[in-house]
Chains A and B, each alone.
Chain A
């Protein structure tokens, strides 16, 4: 069964607005990662947050992690048309190796 599930499945916003995507998971994790995928391309790693961290920032990206609720959110502030892509959360279990499981993704459309 899938470990992570993103919500919503699709999101459409105007340029300049903020975009928020959520990820829920089922079992204990070591870390949670967010990736972006432009159409027909590979995934690009955005941010990794460890289970003992609550919030991380990277440029216009803000990721939060609530281990008690088994959920994470990705916030993109002041969105741009170039942010149009699919966003995936990936969870890494508390194991000795770094196999991760990807959710089905959120498709974000930023309208100019």
Chain B
């Protein structure tokens, strides 16, 4: 079955470390997204990518970096510059809008919970 796989499910980071969260999809979706969710809050967009080798900053990109070398993969690196990285990170993908203007919803992974220790 097609879907999005995020790994690891739980990740612990020491102060000053960079960590990379994996996101892989086999849905053949062009667009991929990274969101951050803090307790009791909605999702905030970190980065998104519409096509391979291109990505755009979202609302809270500072302290994060991404790459999109393959259509299937969109890893997120949480750098030491991110001062408050403890959160639940969600990766999503979507098909582009169709030629007739039909929109499609997002497919989400199951998330990675990052904790600073």
Contact = CB atoms under 8 A, between A and B. Distances in A.
Interface of A: 2, 30-31, 33, 35, 40-45, 48, 50, 88, 90, 92, 96-105
Contacts of B113: 40
B114 interface: no
Interface residues of B, number: 29
Given A31-B103, A42-B109, A43-B90, A98 B42 contact: no
Which 4 residue pairs across A and B have the least CB separation, nearest first? A45-B105, A42-B108, A102-B43, A104-B42
Contacts of B76: none
B73 interface: no
B64 interface: no
Contacts of B106: 33, 35, 43, 45, 90, 100
Contact of B111 (A42, A88, A105): A42
